[in-house]
Structure formats: structure tokens, C-alpha cells
Amino acid sequence: MRTGEPDAETDIPDTDPREIPRATVARLPEYLYALHTLAEAGHDTVSSNALAAVAGVNSAKLRKDLSHLGSYGIRGVGYDVTLLTRQISHALGLTRHRDVVLIGVGHLGKALAGYAGFANRGFGIAALFDVSPEHVGTELAGLRVYHMDALAEIVSEKQISIGVIATPTTAAQRVADSLVNAGVTSILNFAPCILDVPDNVDVRKVDLAVELQILSFHEHRKSQGSANEKKGDE
Amino acid sequence: MRTGEPDAETDIPDTDPREIPRATVARLPEYLYALHTLAEAGHDTVSSNALAAVAGVNSAKLRKDLSHLGSYGIRGVGYDVTLLTRQISHALGLTRHRDVVLIGVGHLGKALAGYAGFANRGFGIAALFDVSPEHVGTELAGLRVYHMDALAEIVSEKQISIGVIATPTTAAQRVADSLVNAGVTSILNFAPCILDVPDNVDVRKVDLAVELQILSFHEHRKSQGSANEKKGDE
DNA sequence: CCCTGTGAAATTATTCACAGCA
DNA sequence: TGCTGTGAATAATTTCACAGGG
């Protein structure tokens, strides 16, 4: 167990990614995006307050988060936008371009394949896969759709380490197994199920319906809480 | 705690939603889904251990989560699948059907409109909206695409309280304003930006690229450190 | 003064471990 | 016996508040 040491001196060589708290990691991409926005708006430097406002978080939290990167702001001024962008990108491992494979070219797969947000932020889709003869061999967003049989070969050839599952739930575990077999070590799963994978494989799940259910809870809370606070706005 | 007290409150299925911790709320939908799976597999009752395994969480956590609902399991047996399903649904406010409006019928909007997971889990899409003449008036997944001008009318007529934004980033804030004006009080935002809304409006953001960036971090961590210690999973 | 970086405090979340009931 | 429900212990996260550099 490592407690915070009382030195505020020179101890920031290369940040060990394992020491960045999970909650911080989850926010770094938001900061990155906010910095991008600010850079485009012509800002060279930004204070923790301003950046926190754009990213939608508390400024103390932001500073603490950045402190985990060993990042250097300038007291009295703020952070250099370009430098901070580079530091966060480095911490997230985005300096090296990471291509992904996408499995399933149904509605969601199509949306993901055409999603500019991926390419914009350092992720290219290396190849698309499906099993349906209807899709295999076609082209989508400038990418050929391969049969799953070709997965291992392409993953290994292009050194892919991340796979995105956009298949129906019933196929998800099978696809995950194939991905793991092919050598993929991170999976983004859009199917609403728990994937069984080896310990060295990271899985993140995005369930669109879950988000709505959480909003439903908030609606429930509002309608139960106070029936008197209503904003008249027409 | 209830050694000598009259448990008059134990029968009341009406939990105060404000007392359920955030982290618990975020997991309830997962439990709900797991229960659905178990029910289909023919289980009448389920132990916290079994349910936790299906939902991918620790069983003590699951029990504590359920205790916030005032839910009653049977000692020595487990939980009644049907009853627990109903209790969670109630806590999430899903007993009442909640329709949503979806704005933006680009790739992502199309995917969402056709996403069976919504309808399956108590959310219907009441109407689709867009501004592009190319889309307005067409039909998609059995739903007509309306022009944004009709938003307020339809939201009010159908008593919609949840809106889903699947537009380009540039339009997101404008759409959010329209939704708020129309009376929507919860927004699910797929555009990668922070929305400025009144305090009484809840916003949840889903950024597909952020998820990939978090995975990228894990890849980075794996390739940088010699993997010899404990697993970092989730 | 500005601001950052950060210990310490407060809050929240998770896990343990066991009493007590079916 | 097997299981739930839950205090107590632990861990993680957020927030406060201020020292100290520019």
C-alpha cells in the first residue's frame, strides 16, 4: 500500500498508468475533448476553472486528476493547451494510433462504422466483420465487410488489440471468444450481456437501454419528490 | 435493528427514490436484465450469489443494493424472480410506460430507432425528428420522421418527458434547448458535448469514442507494465 | 493578487463477516 | 443447513482549504 508521500519535489519521470485512479481515467477523455474545443477557439492556455467548466466538472477534481499525470500547470496562469493535450493523450496511450475491428454490421454497426468521432480521435476502424452472406463482401463507409472466418488473420496481420461487438446478444459471447482467440485484449461490447473472457482481457459494456432506465429513475424521482416546483416556460 | 420494533414500514413497496445511492441506481438495470434472463431460463427463485454471477457483480454488493429497495428475499432460499423484477421496475419508475422522442435520424439515429432493446425494456419511441428535408416525412422502423417544428406539439400531446439526441455535435445544444422548451426533463445525449440545461433537467451523455479511449488506456497499461500482479478488472 | 498542487476532511462505495430467520 | 440483511471495516472518490510559486 502506497500512501501519499510528503514530498512535493522532483519525482515525475514517466507516469505509471497503473497509479491513475479509475475515476480519473474515465474523465481524461472528457478533458481531452474539452481541450480540443478550446484549442479550436484559439486558446493557448486555460485555467483549471475554465477547463472544468467546459468539461462539466468541479475544478478541484480536475486539478487532482491532472496531478496524477504529473502534469505541470503554471501557477497564476493555467495550463498550456497544447502541452496538456499531449500529456493526456500520452497517459491514455493515444499517441500511438490504435485501429479496431468492428463485428456486426447491423444498424448499430453501420452507425459505428460511419461515426466520425472515432476517426477524429485517433481510432481507425481496420476492418468490418459479419457472418451474414447479405453483408459479407459489401462495402460500408469505405471498408470491406469480411466474414468472421478471416478475423484471426486480419487481427494478427494488422496488429489489432481492440474489438467492438455490435452483434445481436445471442452472438456476442461467440464473437468475444473469436476475438480473444485472435489476440484481441480489449473489447467494447454493445450487446446487453456479460461476456466471459480471460482475466487479461478488458471489457467495457455500453448498454443503450440502461441509460434510458437510469433517466427513467430520475423522472420517477422528480414526479414523486415535489409537485410544486414547476417552471412555467412557454 | 428491528428487534422490538413494529415493522409497519416493511410492507410498503414505495421506496423513496432519493435514498437510493447513485451507484446502486446504475446497477439496477443490470439486475433487471439478469432477472429477465433467469426468468426465461425457467428460474422461479434465485440466490444473491447466482444473480450476482449473472449480473457480473459481488454478491454482498447485490444484497446491499437490493436492501435499499426494501426488497424481501427469503432466507435460506433467495429472491422470487417475478417479485424482485417488479420491485426493481417500480424503483426505476418503469411500471409506467415511458415513451421517448428521438432527434436525428442519421446513422446513429437509425440504429437507435431500430434498436429492439428499447422496446423490449419498456421504452417506446414515440416519434422521430430531424430537420433535413431528405429525412422529414419519411418512415423509419415504422415511425414517421417529423420536422423539429412539430416537436413541442408532439411532446406535449404525448406527454413525453425523455428526449434522445442523436444529432451532430453542432446541433446538439440547439436541440436540447428545443427539448427543454417543449417540456422534456431528461435527455440522453449521444453528441460529444456538454449541454447547458436548467437544473431540473437531467442529462446523461454517452460518448462512444470515450469508451474506446478508456480501453486504449488499458492497452497502454498492459503494454507498459510487466503483467505480473493482480488483475485490474471491470 | 492570480493560479496550481495537494494534504486532510468529508463523502460515497465496496467488501467483510456474522446474526438470525426459513 | 443455506441464505438474507446489515452493521462495521475498508477502500475509493470528491471536496475543502490553503500553502506557495509566478
Question: Above 90 in pLDDT, residue A92?
Answer: yes
Q: What confidence tens digit (pLDDT) does each residue in B142-194 have?
A: 999 999 999 999 999 999 999 999 999 999 999 999 999 999 999 999 999 99
**Residue B18 in grid coordinates:** 432519493
Among B188, B198, B210, the residue with its CB nearest the CB of A231 is B198
Q: To the nearest whole number, what is the mean pLDDT of chain B?
A: 88
For chain B, give the percent of residues with pLDDT over 90.
74
Name the nucleotide with the smallest C1'–CA separation from A24: D13
- How far A76 CA sits from the closest chain B CA (Å)? 27
Chain D: positions less than 7 Å from a protein CB are 1-7, 12-17, 20-22
Q: Which residues contact A121 (CB under 8 A, 6 or more apart)?
A: A32, A33, A94, B209, B212, B213
Q: What confidence tens digit (pLDDT) does each residue in A23-74 have?
A: 999 999 999 999 999 999 999 999 999 999 999 999 999 999 999 998 789 9
Which residue of A30, A40, A105, A214 to mutate against B (max B Cβ within 10 Å)? A214
Q: What confidence tens digit (pLDDT) does each residue in B104-115 have?
A: 999 899 989 988
Of the candidates A166, A191, A195, which has an alpha carbon nearest to the alpha carbon of residue A180?
A195
Q: What confidence tens digit (pLDDT) does each residue in A150-190 have?
A: 999 999 999 999 999 999 999 999 999 999 999 999 999 99
Span B113-123, average pLDDT? 82
Q: Indicate the pTM of the whole model.
A: 0.88
Domains delineated in chain B: 9-92 (1.10.10.10), 98-210 (3.40.50.720)
Among A22, A188, A231, the residue with its CB nearest the CB of B211 is A188
Residue with grid cell 462539466, as numbered in its chain: A56
Span B216-224, average pLDDT? 91
Taking only residues 61 to 90 of chain B, the set having a beta carbon closer than 8 angstroms to any beta carbon of chain A reads none
